[in-house]
Structure 1
Amino acid sequence: MRLSRYFLPVLKETPAEAQIVSHRLMLRAGMIKQASAGIYSWLPLGFKVLKRIEQIVHEEQERAGHIPMLMPTLQSADLWRESGRYDDYGEEMLRIKDRHDRDMLYGPTNEELITDIFRSYVRSYKDLPLTLYHIQWKFRDERRPRFGVMRGREFYMKDGYNFDLSKDDALHAYNRHLVSYLRSYERMGLQAIPMRADGGPIGGDYTHEFLVLAETGESEVFYDSAVTDLTFGDRDIDYDNVEQCAGVLEEFTSKYARTDETHDETVWADVPEDRQRVARGIEVGQIFYFGTKYSEAMGATVQDADGNQVPVHMGSHGIGVSRLLGAIIEANHDDNGIIWPEGVTPFHCGIVNLKQGDEAADAACEGLYDQLTKAGLEPLYDDRNERAGGKFATMDLIGLPWRITVGPRGLKNGVVELTNRRTGESEELAPEAAVAKVVAIYAGV
């Protein structure tokens, strides 16, 4: 993409309403614009990152054997009355009526709707196990929406639902989701710690939240510092292997890590004092096993091998896709702007022309742009007739991981400058070598 043809409304000043880093930088980098309290338009740069995150989530869910679909944003209140949650959910649920005076709601989650789909089509244990998921806009009418996309009213979320014949099978689905989430977060450049949590309005005895440590986190968390040494890495996981998935869960949850809602001072005292940490965290996902809570209430049963009708065991599993974008920025920024991890960057590399209109510089930039594009990458070429300082400031603000700077002086020596946004380190390379290095970096992402 050529910046002269792109819509990137960056701001020089920080809007007064932005209280945390991610909100400030998303507004300044032209990623979002507030439409009303807690509701945002996603501008091109923000939308690109949102789709990068979504793609990682899709890839890891499908790798784990989960099946994508799409459910509507509006739901019938009748289903929620059937489960008993319509009146219990509280004022966060946006309740509306259609022209025929039927009660509707803007879905905050989809347990009822997916259970209705399941009971309409699945009859036998032979059709199990089954996990369906979708990525869809949700709405929760927060009393005080704040912090930009971190606590908005409208948000983009992946929610998945497993249906299993037994508790053991459902707990394997729980473990499988934990594994897929760990892999997803690491691909996004995040360390998200699974912490024992409270089931809240969804319910369930088994539940873990995934939290990213950040000063602006809404939750106080207590953890053994040993959990921060754990990495998922490039493990070859067989998602059908019950013992292997359970082993990963044990590895990542055996050390103490809890939110303030489930913190236990007695157990905490057993953690070596030099490893006790108290911090704040941003929730970016949660997994639940809630057994037959919804299947019994809504008649979601299957015939087992003995011919008996039995309620299925269920769980739900969510990732806050739009919230993740804010969390990534909170964990990856400096005084000059965002620093995108390679896995989610909107553009793979920036190209800065120090002297637009110079024949050699223009030709070199065009060559770099073409080579990167042919290699399957998306470069952002700043071809504007602006001063160099302004171009560098824009690139730093929007946070592309790599930048190639082209100027007449370097070209006389046959080199361009390749800069790492995270470290600030630069090296002079021949144009072809700079392209080859960037391509090699993304080949491993």
Structure 2
Amino acid sequence: MAHPVAIPKLGLTMVDCTLVGWTKQDGDKVEQGEMLYAIETDKITTDVEADGAGFLRRFAEVDSMHEVGAVIGGLFASRDEALAAEAASVAASAPTADRVPAAAPAPASAAAPAPSAAAPAPNPGRARVSPLARRIAAESGIDPATLKGTGGHGAVLRRDVDAEIARRKAAPAASPVPAPVPSVSAGEVRRPLAGMRRAIAQKMMQSLQSTAQMTGFGRVDMGEAVRMRQACLAAEADLGVRVSYTDIVLKACAGALAAMPEINASIVGEEIVTWGDVNVGLAVALDDGLIVPVIHNADRKSIAEIARERIDLAGRARAGRLTRDDMEGGTFSLSNFGSYGGDFETPILNAPQSALLGIGAITDEPVVRAGQIVIRPMMMFSLTFDHRLIDGAVAGRFRARVRTALENPYSMLARMR
């Protein structure tokens, strides 16, 4: 029996992808662990390794769109067997597609099953568009909904968009051209909603439409945290890294998440999943958008280790060199809007995560201490949470735990691995 080559589930929210390339030809010998093909989602292009060995027969073309679990090829015992094979010969033996990051194991009910050859379209009446086709269409000013898709279940693929581009170029010059939309001002500039900005727009709308988001606010006296950071700066040569306030806050969040697993959880389908690891995503601003790489097992790392990982991830994010592992498995997120002068905001959840902490700038403010007005370095912070899963009282206890950790930061040193 042939070994099926099937689309793996590479993230909790992954439903489908576009096959963007093969590294082998029909009949080629494939070793287990070799890079075999590449797929593209809205977020990232990923190389996929062969999970078996044998001679390859490809059943899917480049630029074709596939659901998680779909069989796109097979590995056979001999070259002749591979070249003579048909797709139906391996479809029945396809594995269930539930491969997700170890930090965020999806329950069986969340895994997408392998579709059969006769299965109806999952969203009848609504055209499906591959991520690559969607981007090219946006860049070319084409509405994919007007195209007839040639992919499985009528999916619009890159070749359909390319055909429409070629048709428009070949159209007679005398063809009527729609009048342009009047400009509001002489200096108006328009550009397609495409690439990372389109992916961010879709993800933010999906987050707001699929969760019951609420935001609570708090203030924390950062005086001791300021002293702690000054001590870290003085010891920078020994630590080998420059510690930031973000690192200290991230460590406080990680400790609070470990103590309150009900926050380190998600609603997946009809189940509540409490994640086994504390993986904190950190929002990094780029020139063309925002990306959220993940510091895995943050509760088991020292502040200096978190600082080193933060600097590495942020640098690779801005250079466009993040890997899939850097982006996946997050169970909570942190956004430092104080880095660009903000005091407080209401961040949108990075779904399917159920909570996100935003921190503002540290500013000197008059406060009352022991009946006296004194000047203290204060910081506003906000916790956005999914009210379907987290009640207001639970969110309040989490904010209080984070505040206590930041006002007594040296206690966090006891949690260094």
Higher RCO, 1 vs 2 (CA within 8 Å, ≥6 residues apart): 1
In the superposition, the TM-score normalised over structure 2's length comes to: 0.29
State TM-score, norm by structure 1: 0.27
